[in-house]
Chain A
Amino acid sequence: MPIPVGVAPNDASAFRAIALRRIHPAYSLFSLCSLAFATTALGQNRATVIKDVTILLPGEAPIEKGSVVFAGGKITGVGPKASGNFMSRDLKVGGKFITPGFVDCWGRNPSLVTADERADGAALDGIDLFNAAAMRALWSQGVVATYVPAPAIRGIGGVGAVLHLAPPQSGPLTAPKGKGDKGSSADDADPLLWVQESAAHFNAAALGDSSIRRLQTLQALRSALKEAREYGESFDDYEDELKEYTDKLAEKAKKAAAAEKGEAGKDGAKPDAAKPGDKPNAGGGSKAASKDNSKPAASGATSSTSSASKKKKKAKPTTPQPGDAEKKKDALKKPTEPTRDPRKETLLRVVNGELPLRAAASHPEDIEVLLDIANEYNLALILEGAHGAAVIADELKETNIPVVLDGTMPSLFFVDGPRRYVRADLSTRLSAADSPLYFGSGAGSADYAAAGSFALAASTALPTLEDAALLKKLTVDAAAWLGCEKKYGALSMGDRADFVVWTAPPFSPGAVVDRVFIDGQEVYRRDDAGADR
């Protein structure tokens, strides 16, 4: 359905009307000043219009001879009647077809991301901001946003991120505001980064791994998840013990206070000791005690409570007294906080369901084991590739486990790797099993893949989808699933002006990306010099 006509944020038609009208000279001066002001304001947010193009919107019928209007980095009009204003600038583009940019659900561009083999690694740490050629290769395929994992050669990798492929900014990336952020403010959010922590990564096998090796890798995942769960439980136990400890301390202090009160009553002294409800070790400094209670110190740290009691002990005679053994028995021992382990912290979040686990697996048996593990630990599992899943598609029924397909095509030749397991009917079988399907360049991608590879690979992976449905899958559906901005990829009013100009409909033979716009800025032009490698 066409989107209604939009107008630029500052409509200048009123100013133009005033300027053209014959009125008092004083008003003329005012009008001229107003016009100058409006021109300046409009200049900053001047609308750009691309006219007479076919607009292909996700899941909708093509809009013939339509226009796309954008200003200030946002779409201000899309449709057959969309137009700018008298200040608008018409942009002539080589292509005739406009689509929203693609969102890659499984980027594996090694030049863009190089993460170490470790669970506490993050894709974010490996992003090369200055690799313009890699960015250009992605734009040449019509990709404007991508999920980048932090994969290990095999086993547990790091945490992936979702990137908006705006032109590289200078300086380090900062976390976005919103869910999963680490306390950053909106001001320092970087336009490049959309989701800082998307999913932890697991690679079921490296190329050439034997069956035993693969089983070991999966067993290692099971063990690591078990350890992570135990790690989490150890902190739960610690919290319980700490609570018990503080309760006992409070009780003890209460008793001591009551005893002192009784003694003071006898001696006629003032009741200035700890009151009921006071934190333990009040005599040793309430500030320190409060800190100690709210955030347990790391291992090795001692509480001021114990130091206070030590001081008291020092004042007493050192020779053993009757009843010391009983006192020792009654003495409270502060629980020790378990040692922090960043690797287990990541997996603990996976076990707690806070972070999905993306598992790249091709062999049907590996996928079966992963399904078992996901069931056992109640994981939010996402399958990457799942090349051999066609033969076990029934097992995915009712699991609602999303599968990210890539463009791996079957081979005649017996080779190790994904191609060995993939079948032409993979997506059909998974669709029949109601698996949510997404697409990413994945295993077949390369540093500087040829233009158009993304659209071609997508049409290979999802051969039964017609153009409009395939476009929807690669834009709005992908963006929503990855947690990009609301409605991103729909190319509707108010959205980011991220779109691609094609020479032909994107899934037709010979279609080439002519230009790419991100936030209203042209970031890629096909005929630019200095081009792709």
Chain B
Amino acid sequence: MRRILTTRVLRLSAACAALALTLSASASTLIRAKLFVAPDGELKPDAIVLIDGDRIVSVSDAAAKANDTHEYSGAVLCPGLIEIASQAGAVDDLNDAANPIQVDADARDALNRRSAEYDGALRAGITTLVLTPSNENPIGGSTAIVCFTPQSLRPVIHGDTAPLKLSLSPEALRAVYEPSSRNGLIALLRRTLDAEKADPKPETSLGKLLGGKRVGIVAAPEAADVLTCADLAKSYGLRLAPWHSSDAEEVAELGAEFPGVIVGPFDFSTPARHARSAAAFAKNNSTVVIAGGLPFGATDRLRLGAAIAARSGLSPALARRAITSAPADLLGLNESHGRLAPGAMADLVVFSGDPLDLRSRVLAVYVGGQRVITDPSASSAPRLAQEDRK
């Protein structure tokens, strides 16, 4: 009896194992193309990416095999693009006119999961967006990292490493009450940081900023604002990433003091001086991240910004990195997003050519290892909008 039971258990276990193996094998996909964007931004041959489940298993392994193979001859595989400063689906919902200091505000609360703008972003190859409070609050609160699930394609909040948003911009100044001057704005920031320092609350967003666990994205439109950023970072031990383009050539040497610098958005009306900011910071060994400012401007403004930066002195490799692995690094997602590497999330885009060539089209988008969009040009109606109508 015992033997029979043991045999049955063993058989059942074997069957389960076989089933598990089958399921696992069926979830694996091999994607082949001509070139792929490496983590350093260079275009490399042997674009063979093996996906298992929602993760990348191997890259450039010629011996890799899977049940399903997707072939894109002549195409370029690229990690899903990362938009670091977006207000998609939440325009006008990410600022507070009454209260300048919004330590507790969290952009995740403004996420509109039904907005068709996310579907549009996905079709442009953007698989990660950072919902970023506007520049109108000296402390605008936590940003929110938004990704997609392959099942519904609804945007979802990813993790809790999202940076805090600060602003030194004149947009944060008030007409009648504090802060009404740049001086007052910096004083208010210092006062808030001092108060937090005196009575630490490590679990709050400000506490995490002071503890070095979170990055602060600082809108710094003038060169003087970058100097202030450096000063604040030094005084309080903060990890700040200034967002600055206009006078970068004057303050570029400070760039290396920050975990990263954000430039952009750029388009065809961007003055040459602003467009050279990416190259200026890169020359000083800064990690340069390019912002697209979605949904404002062109849908493809993230790629456009990288293309313009590449024509203004930034190397093409660093320009590709500035919209993929560099923002992932700044957001603390360097293990999981923004790169085609084993262990990373299988969010990737297939372009018909170099992503920096604006003639290149998106041929397919993969989210969590599943192909969720093919040939977007075939349909102009956003998928979410269609679903919403049902």
Contact = CB atoms under 8 A, between A and B. Distances in A.
A334 interface: no
A464 B360 CA distance: 9
A459 B311 CA distance: 14
A412 interface: yes
A411 interface: yes
B311 A512 contact: yes
A424 B121 CA distance: 15
Contacts of A456: 268, 304, 307-308, 311, 358
A15 interface: no
A532 interface: yes
Contacts of A533: 271-273
Contacts of A415: 296
Contact of A463 (B88, B276, B298, B359): B359
Given A407-B268, A412-B120, A509-B357, A450 B311 contact: yes
Contact of A412 (B121, B268, B270, B312): B121
Central interface residue in A408, A425, A448, A507, by most chain B CB within 10 Å: A448
Central interface residue in A447, A460, A463, A509, by most chain B CB within 10 Å: A509
Contact of A446 (B269, B294, B316): B269
A144 interface: no
A432 B380 CA distance: 19
A452 B312 contact: yes
Nearest to B297: A411
B359 A448 contact: no
Interface string B239-251: 0000000000000
Contacts of B221: none
B274 interface: yes
B207 interface: no
B295 A445 contact: no
A453 B268 contact: yes
Given A411-B298, A507-B357, A457 B268 contact: yes
B54 interface: no
Nearest to A419: B298
Contact of B311 (A424, A445, A511, A532): A511
Q: Per DSSP, are chain B's interface residues mostly helix, strand or loop, or mixed?
A: loop
A423 interface: yes
Contacts, number: 124
Nearest to B317: A510
B300 interface: yes
B332 interface: no
Contacts of B294: 412
B304 A409 contact: yes
A234 interface: no
B220 interface: no
B356 interface: yes
A512 B275 CA distance: 13
Contact of B307 (A411, A441, A445, A509): A509
A378 B296 CA distance: 40
Contact of B268 (A410, A445, A464): A445
A481 interface: no
Contact of A140 (B272, B295, B304, B356): B272
A412 B300 contact: no
B308 A453 contact: yes
Nearest to B356: A509
A441 B271 contact: no
A463 B358 contact: yes
Nearest to B272: A532
Nearest to B276: A450
B377 interface: yes
Contacts of A448: 271-273
B106 interface: no
B357 A508 contact: yes
Contact of B270 (A413, A425, A450, A531): A450
Contacts of A508: 357
Nearest to A422: B298
Given A419-B297, A510-B315, 10 more contacts: A412-B117, A419-B298, A448-B272, A450-B312, A452-B312, A456-B358, A508-B357, A510-B311, A533-B271, A533-B273
10 contacts: A409-B298, A409-B304, A411-B299, A412-B299, A441-B268, A446-B269, A449-B270, A459-B358, A509-B356, A512-B311
Q: For the complex of A and B, list the 5 residue pairs with the smallest distance between their C-beta atoms, beginning with the closest.
A: A452-B311, A450-B275, A509-B356, A409-B298, A446-B269
